[in-house]
Amino acid sequence: MTQSLLFIVSSIVFFTLFLFIFMFKKRKQISCMTGMMVAMTIGMIVGLEVGIIVGIIFLDLFISTLVGMIIGMIAGFLLGSPISIMAVLDGILSGLMGGMMGAMLGGMISSNYYNSIVSVFYIIFIGVFLILIYMVQHETKVTKGVINKFFHHPVLIASMFFVFFYLFKQLGPIFYN
């Protein structure tokens, strides 16, 4: 496992758990629709990213589909569970669909484009994560604390996005051909 791949996987786990804790702390202030949106979005994007990575590593469509679906469903379940059963169901089904699509893409893409496709979906993951944090902050209207103030300003969120992009590019290739 390369440094870049380790960075991607660990940051996906860290950001998903961070968002779960963030949602759990503010669950009383978050509407069911916002909770469903967060669970659906994270379930889908985590399922896609993990499905692509596992599809590239194993090159077995059955195993990669199963792993991608399970990981996506777990992410969707985790983020929907503090809100409502509708959010849980939405997150599970989106994670299932994202895992299947990611595994198909990872299994079918040419080896020349492994690094590119994982990089593109990782950047999309970071962007979606930051937008979700901003959306939940905007709905709860809480601006106390350093983390809350940081995620309440779009300029700081955009700068964090570019810092992650820069750090990610410094780690080298994700897969060696």
Three-state DSSP at 52 gives helix
Residue where the block lists tokens 């960075």: 7
> How far is residue 11's CA from residue 29's CA, in Å, rounded to a whole number?
27
Q: What is the pLDDT of residue 101?
A: 96
Question: What is the amino acid identity at position 168?
Answer: F
pTM beyond 0.75:
yes
Residue ranges of alpha helices (H) inside 59-113 are: 61-80, 85-108
Query: Within 13 Å of residue 93, how many CA atoms lie on the same side as its CB?
Result: 8
Low-confidence ranges of the chain (pLDDT < 70): 142-143, 145-148, 177
Q: At what angle do helices 32-58 and 85-108 cross, to 10 degrees?
A: 20
Cα 95 to Cα 90: distance, rounded to the nearest angstrom: 8
- Residue 76's nearest CA partner among 124, 9, 19, 149 is 19
The Cα–Cα gap between 96 and 39 comes to 12
Residue 168 has what pLDDT? 79
Confidence (pLDDT) at 147: 67
Q: How do residues 116-166 score in pLDDT, each as one tens digit? A: 999 999 989 988 998 888 888 888 876 676 666 777 777 877 887 788 788
Computed on alpha carbons and rounded to an integer, the radius of gyration of the chain in Å comes to 16
- The sign of the dihedral angle between the CA atoms of 162, 73, 91, 139 is negative
pLDDT value at residue 138: 80
